[in-house]
Structure 1
């Protein structure tokens, strides 16, 4: 299953609930960090492209500095994507190959719709929340409002994500409401898996 939604929509809460049920999670953001960790070819390539200004004092990637560049300049963002996306795709494929046939694999991929990957999944689940609520959540996490708005603007809108969705989860309410909806989704996924396996 591909899991997506705009920044601040609550994908992490949904994926955590699915993992609690037994899903195998592949987190695209986590892999994106790993492929540019210190000592990787990915980090070397990013520094070669964007210069020493995106390196932190300890030699790691200064993600806020890089973010200020790529979220303000689409051409720069595309140059970054050309470096990291192939690395992320290779690691993702390796993890999917390691899952068992009975596993329900959840690929948390924020830009699923933007990269046109919806057809790669048996099921696409979109998490939604009102934009003002998403901005409030991002501010509470320490992201300045104008940066949060820039990141939201760089992503697909709700209508485009909804058009690619098989399932939509509304995360505009309470956490118990969200958990109840995700529990329903889990039962639907089990039913689909069992039907596909001929159980």
Structure 2
């Protein structure tokens, strides 16, 4: 089995790439989805309530927008949130990988993690794939999603610059053109990954 870490920066299109890999037959684990599930757990909610106060909606669920507006303005608060969430995410990813390995030892497992490099968890993978788009394109895509330029920049700059991330990547997928071109790029990478598994 091949364990691959898939990352990028906000607005580079890593979720789209993850979806294409999944359609091609890879097992894709989305760390963001794990985070969503964790934020509904009572023990996690309690830790967040103690640390961040009232960041809950009328149904008692964590309001991600409210929480986001706090952590993206304060690096210390961001670190605090990560110390609550990241160990649990890593535990769940490991559990899922083991499950897949039992079922399909020849499989290609792709774990989509936004902060793969920042957290140092890139070391857990055989290969690191980075989805790349320059900053101006990231801003343009985030603005289309309804962010102001200032909000977009704050989110982009809260992560390691995309050009720094390139240094950690074994494979870079450029997402600077249309979807068709991106699909071709991902397919070509996936074929190489399958070959690599077969040679093991």
Kindly tell me the number of residue pairs found equivalent between the two proteins.
194
Give the TM-score, by structure 1 length: 0.94
Q: What residue in structure 1 maps to residue 26 of structure 2?
A: 23
Inter-partner Cα distance in structure 1 for 2:105 and 2:148 = 43
Q: What residue in structure 2 maps to residue 69 of structure 1?
A: 70
Shift of the alpha carbon at 1:13? 1.1
1:146 aligns with 2:150: yes
Shift of the alpha carbon at 1:138? 1.1
Inter-partner Cα distance in structure 1 for 2:58 and 2:65 = 13
Q: What residue in structure 2 maps to residue 190 of structure 1?
A: 194
Aligned Cα root-mean-square deviation (Å): 1.0
* Partner SS for 1:136: helix
Inter-partner Cα distance in structure 2 for 1:142 and 1:102 = 41
Unaligned runs of at least 5 residues, structure 1: none
Shift of the alpha carbon at 1:167? 0.4
Unaligned runs of at least 5 residues, structure 2: none
Q: What residue in structure 1 maps to residue 11 of structure 2?
A: 8
Task: Tell me which stretches of 4 or more aligned residues in structure 1 moved more than 4 Å.
Answer: none
Inter-partner Cα distance in structure 1 for 2:119 and 2:38 = 19
Give the TM-score, by structure 2 length: 0.94
CA contact (8 A) 1:43 1:61 kept: yes
